[in-house]
């Protein structure tokens, strides 16, 4: 049995790509494209027609609507390949606007439903700011499930659990990047690999907390830099993995053991935590890594959103 098949025994495997023609070979359950991945995909000849066809069909409509229709077009193509759910992201420029995020999420769902897609097959992806978490709570109450992204801290995870969101995506690789850069020449790669990787430690803490207190929100590790980060989180509810790392797992026969389990979490001595807005903002502010990576992530997604709009305007 290869490592990918072994991982699937413990964890739901998700494809982290907008390049849906790469997905089928690895048979993931779900997929998590984002505007950055779709921007990358539409610049390839194989996907260019999705962009030009969408523009031709909806020319004259507001640009934000055309963007959403393109995202949904990709989502529908992906859903024709996978058995599970696709995540579709709300414009990152709305990350601090609860009302606008709710409105955009509702429109994305309406566009999917117009294509005959059941509401349960779509996760609306929202940045895990305070405003984004409140928007996700409102969407969940309306039966629209959410995926809280750009999640780097325990405080964000706790607030998401309180909001009863469907799923969170803690970013393993970006946490690792920050600590490695911060340590500089003092970084010891061997000592900070596998279970000791700071990104892995963050996801393990969140997973154990959720399982200890029966929080139903799913934990999906994301943003991996190497296979060691993935195998150290075997047993996590879901892991979203790039096609390149899926290929590496599929080509390896190294034995893989479960590292996370609800039973082990139940045995841990963990204190419950609750956050109101002030407490959340203070806790996030106290975490320099999470504060920096959340801001950086939103800025990067905004840049790619503008680039995608420029491609649509030029089509």
- Report the run of H or E that residue 238 belongs to, with start and end: strand 238-241
DSSP, residue by residue, 192-214: TSGGG-HHHHHHHHHHHHHHHTT
Instruction: Determine if residue 60 is left, alpha or beta; phi over 0 gives left, psi from -120 to 50 gives alpha, anything else beta.
Output: left
Q: In this structure, which long-range contacts are made by residues 191-199, counting pairs with CB atoms below 8 Å and at least 24 apart in sequence?
A: 193/228, 194/228, 194/229, 194/231, 194/232, 195/232, 195/259, 197/172, 197/228, 197/229, 197/232, 199/170, 199/171, 199/172, 199/173, 199/174, 199/175, 199/223, 199/229
Instruction: Find tokens 């049995």 and name the residue.
Output: 1
DSSP, residue by residue, 60-72: TS-HHHHHHHHHH
125 is catalytic: yes
| CA pair distance 51, 249, nearest whole angstrom | 32
Please report, for residues 31, 124, 137, 164, the alpha-carbon distance to residue 143 in angstroms, rounded to integers and kept in the order given.
20, 11, 10, 12
Q: Which of 125, 211, 212, 293 is catalytic?
A: 125
Instruction: Find tokens 């709570």 and name the residue.
Output: 137
Catalytic residues: 125
């Amino acid at each position: 049995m290869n490592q990918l098949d072994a991982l699937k025994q413990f964890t739901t495997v998700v494809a982290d790509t907008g390049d849906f023609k790469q997905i089928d070979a690895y048979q993931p359950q779900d997929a998590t494209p984002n505007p950055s991945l779709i921007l990358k995909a539409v610049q390839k000849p194989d996907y260019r027609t999705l962009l030009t066809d969408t523009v031709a069909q909806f020319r004259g409509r507001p640009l934000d609507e055309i963007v959403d229709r393109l995202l949904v077009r990709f989502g529908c193509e992906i859903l024709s390949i996978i058995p599970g759910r696709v995540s579709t992201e709300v414009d990152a420029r709305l990350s601090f606007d609860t009302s606008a995020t709710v409105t955009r999420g509702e429109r994305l769902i309406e566009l999917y439903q117009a294509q005959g897609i059941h509401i349960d097959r779509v996760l609306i992806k929202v940045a895990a700011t305070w405003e984004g978490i409140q928007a996700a709570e409102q969407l969940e109450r309306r039966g629209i499930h959410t995926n809280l992204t750009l999640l780097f801290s325990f405080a964000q995870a706790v607030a998401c659990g309180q909001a009863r969101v469907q799923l969170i995506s803690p970013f393993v690789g970006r946490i690792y990047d920050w600590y490695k850069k911060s340590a500089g020449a003092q970084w010891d790669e061997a000592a900070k690999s596998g279970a000791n990787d700071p990104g892995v430690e963050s996801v393990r803490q969140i997973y154990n907390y959720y399982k200890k207190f029966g929080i139903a929100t799913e934990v999906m590790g994301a943003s991996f830099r190497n296979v060691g980060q993935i195998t150290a989180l075997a047993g996590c509810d879901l892991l979203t993995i790039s096609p390149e790392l899926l290929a590496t797992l599929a080509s390896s026969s190294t034995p893989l053991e479960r590292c996370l389990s609800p039973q082990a979490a139940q045995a841990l001595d963990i204190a419950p935590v609750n956050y109101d807005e002030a407490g959340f903002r203070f806790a996030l502010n106290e975490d320099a890594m999470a504060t920096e990576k959340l801001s950086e992530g939103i800025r990067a997604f905004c840049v790619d959103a503008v680039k995608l709009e420029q491609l649509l305007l030029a089509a």
